[in-house]
Amino acid sequence: MKIVSNNSREELAGLIEKLLAKNRIRKVYCAEGKTMMPPDANFSARDRLALPINGCHRMTIFSKGKVSEISPVRGEATFIPEGSWNKPDWILPVTVATFCFAPNETDISYVKCPGGKFKERDKVSISIGKFHPDGIQALSLMRNIFRANPSDRRGLSAVEIILYYCLENLKNSDEKYGKSQSLWISIRNYLDECFSSNISRDDLASLFGISSNYLSNLFQRQSGTTFIEYINATRIKYACMLLESTNSTLDEIALSSGFNETSYFCRVFKNKTGMQPTLYRSKARFKNSSKNSR
């Protein structure tokens, strides 16, 4: 993944500004959360909004109770809320900006894909700092509107408000982070989305063009943990969601979470949570049934 430059920031700001000036957001596709991902899908650890600037951002999402293929183009967007997933195919040419929202920072992944094989290192990661309070309010409004009714056109206005605040941050915020911090943000975002893939420490280091030792040191400095501890914690968090919200078997959950062996998954799960997955599921169901009976 490329570290952001001022040229990338200015280029993206200009493209978004032109899009908002000439095109209203006329449609937003909405993914639904808490379902099992297919192989090679991208998990959304935070609310994400994907905005095609040129071309077609074709992808698979879970929407309206089923897996669907969608083809967003300029003037459209895809909302991928926390706990859901999407799977772009990158076959068609596309330029797309994906906004990743968190209380203390907002990141943008900027991709110009010519079509065909997508290379992670061609993605540019841009941090635009803390989101404006009015933007956070619009994000909450958008989330609530689309959760109740994905076809509600009030959500389109909320999306435009969010994009305007993102544009202001993009144009006015100074570059805060050095190369090491920017690299860490890129690696963290990648693992938060792609933790289910069969990736090793050496694979990850090669993907970002650094040595394995440098990667290990980066994890210790930035997260106070190791690569394997970080990715296992992320996988177990996803597994907990599936245990709470689906009837999938342990074998299915282990595989979807990135564990090749169910026995190893169960050991890691107990180490992280203090209980076996079956007990965790039983407790979650009891808790939910108690809430529903009130």
Render pLDDT for 165-184 as a digit per residue (tens, 0 to 9): 999 999 886 655 667 888 89
pLDDT-above-70 percentage for the chain: 94
> What is the chain's mean pLDDT, rounded?
91
CB 38 within 8 A of CB 67: yes
Strand ranges (DSSP E) for 19-58? Answer: 27-30, 42-43, 48-55
Go through the domains of the chain in sequence order and give each one's CATH number: 2-172 (no CATH), 191-286 (1.10.10.60)
Considering only CA atoms, give the Rg of the chain: 19
Q: What is the pLDDT of residues 187-220, one digit of tens each?
A: 999 999 999 999 999 999 999 999 999 999 999 9
pTM of the model: 0.90
Written as one letter, the residue type at 134 is D
Print burial letters for 102-138: b (CB count within 10 Å at least 16), e (below 16). Answer: eeebbbbbbbebeeeeeeeeebbbbbbbebbeebbeb
User: Would you state the pLDDT for residue 175?
Assistant: 52
Minimum mean pLDDT range among 3-7, 75-79, 245-249: 3-7
pLDDT band at 5 (very low <50, low <70, confident <90, very high): low
User: Would you state the pLDDT for residue 45?
Assistant: 93
Written as one letter, the residue type at 240 is C
Closest listed residue to residue 107, CA positions, set 173, 59, 62: 173
User: Would you state the pLDDT for residue 178?
Assistant: 67
Average pLDDT over residues 156-171: 93
pLDDT band at 185 (very low <50, low <70, confident <90, very high): confident
User: Would you state the pLDDT for residue 292?
Assistant: 64
pLDDT-above-90 percentage for the chain: 73
Q: What is the pLDDT of residues 43-65, one digit of tens each?
A: 999 999 999 999 999 999 999 89
Distance between the two ends of the chain, CA-based, in angstroms? Answer: 49
Distances (CA, A) of 166 to 47, 125, 130, 161, 265: 14, 14, 10, 9, 39
User: Would you state the pLDDT for residue 105?
Assistant: 83
Rounded CA gap, 141 and 124, in Å? 28
CB 82 within 8 A of CB 47: yes
Average pLDDT over residues 270-291: 92
